Amino acid sequence: MHTIYNPLVIRSKSLLPIVQGGMGVGISASQLASAVARENGVGTIASIDLRHLHPDLLAESKANPTQENYDRLNHIALDREIKKALAQADGKGIIAVNVMKAVTDYPNLVKQACESGAQAIVMGAGLPLELPDLTADHPDVALLPILSESRGIQVVLKRWMKKNRLPDAIVIEHPNHAGGHLGAQQISDLNNERFSFRRVIEETQEVFKQLGLESEKIPLILAGGMAHVKKIRTAIQEWGANAVQIGTAFAVTKEGDAHINFKKTLSEAKPEDIVEFMSVAGLPARGVLTPFLKKYLQTEAKLQANAKADPRRCVQALNCLQTCGLRDGISKIGQFCIDQRLTDALNGDVRKGLFFRGKDPLPFGDQIRSVYETMYYLLTGKEASVA
């Protein structure tokens, strides 16, 4: 695919400047990631709870509902998805795995991803300070931290430099535009000027200088609201970014791993249907105002008032997050089982599901297009001719 942009270079591999964001539970798995990689982009598998895509593993987890068994089965599912994606990518692009720092099993998920052949690890939802240690036995795996402001970037760089490691690229995510869990402490903080892409890029370049780093060796990838031709052009040609990361626009493609009802719910959502709320993980989140979320927000104050620490409140007795408002009885944050609600969304249950989504319009409105058409349009501004 010919574009006007310079390639994104990761580990000497020249790629199209498009990174597909990781979306769990099961929204971005082998089918979506491999489709993006075949177009020479970075396709990303979200490592969270992939057993839901495998009926045999799901049956095993129901027969033995213990945390140890859940973790074991999710590692098997991750291994399957990575190997399938690599086979279907035909040697093109990069197959990355996104691991959330906020989940309890993140160290083992990182190690499993590396052992299964992942070509890159992308980590957000917390400062990935120990990522170089977790991947020390796999030096050929590229590391891409997700951060939202220059202070976090500086902290990560200083810590990693002590370990003689630098990021292969840095994803800068704007919490006021991205979907899912957002990189701010409070909803009121989402539009803070310190998250401005232009400002973060400029401050990051200063951090590079202070640390004696050559900025051109660490590509910067902008995430959040970037699924727009003009925004991509501005990001790369004016602000100095090297690439963009896009989530929702890929979630609704034909190759997206979720149910068709999931894709319709995201693509048909109107601006007034996209809301911010406090998730169970202690971070603001953004999603579609489905019947579940609407009812939850109406009863949120009452649920928070009755919050109490009790592992039995977990729907599946699943210790999935390091911090969970429901399990840990933290009254200021979400009081629902996020794993169950995201699983319902994956399966297309519009009534019960929690549907994360970015706030900006999608390239093709409510139409479901292919990965190829999406990437072609975003990089050229033209409609692709598809047989």
The structural domains of the chain, ordered by start, are 8-266+358-380 (3.20.20.70), 269-346 (no CATH)
Q: What is the pLDDT of residues 173-197, one digit of tens each?
A: 998 999 888 888 888 888 888 999 9
pLDDT (0 to 100) of residue 280: 85
pLDDT at 274 over 70: yes
145 Cβ neighbours under 8 A, 6+ residues apart: 122, 123, 124, 127, 128, 131, 156, 167, 170, 171
pLDDT (0 to 100) of residue 15: 98
pLDDT (0 to 100) of residue 258: 93
pLDDT at 136 over 90: yes
pLDDT at 292 over 80: yes
pLDDT at 322 over 80: no
pLDDT at 143 over 60: yes
Q: Please answer whether residues 35 and 269 qualify as being in contact, where contact means their C-beta atoms are separated by less than 8 angstroms.
A: no
Residue with more model confidence, 306 or 130: 130
Q: Please answer whether residues 299 and 323 qualify as being in contact, where contact means their C-beta atoms are separated by less than 8 angstroms.
A: no
**Phi, psi at 44, each rounded to 5°:** -125, 125
Strand partners, 309: 328
pLDDT (0 to 100) of residue 133: 96
**Phi, psi at 60, each rounded to 5°:** -65, -40
Distances (CA, A) of 33 to 1, 19, 30, 98, 143: 18, 10, 5, 11, 17
Q: What is the mean pLDDT of residues 140-163?
A: 95
pLDDT at 316 over 70: no
pLDDT at 284 over 80: yes
pLDDT at 218 over 90: yes
237 Cβ neighbours under 8 A, 6+ residues apart: 5
Q: Please answer whether residues 285 and 356 qualify as being in contact, where contact means their C-beta atoms are separated by less than 8 angstroms.
A: yes
Report the share of the chain in percent with pLDDT over 90. 73
pLDDT (0 to 100) of residue 31: 97
pLDDT (0 to 100) of residue 318: 66
Q: What is the mean pLDDT of residues 327-331?
A: 84
Q: What is the pLDDT of residues 88-101, one digit of tens each?
A: 999 999 999 999 88
Q: What is the mean pLDDT of residues 301-313?
A: 83
pLDDT at 298 over 80: yes
Distance CA 307, CA 305 (A): 6
Q: What is the mean pLDDT of residues 107-129?
A: 94
pLDDT at 319 over 80: no
* Cβ count within 10 A of residue 117: 15
pLDDT (0 to 100) of residue 310: 77
Q: What is the mean pLDDT of the chain?
A: 92
Distance CA 371, CA 213 (A): 35
Q: How confident is the model at residue 327 (pLDDT cuts 50, 70, 90)?
A: confident
**Residue in the structure block whose two tokens are 């072609």:** 376
pLDDT at 368 over 70: yes
50 Cβ neighbours under 8 A, 6+ residues apart: 24, 25, 26, 29, 74, 77, 78, 80, 81
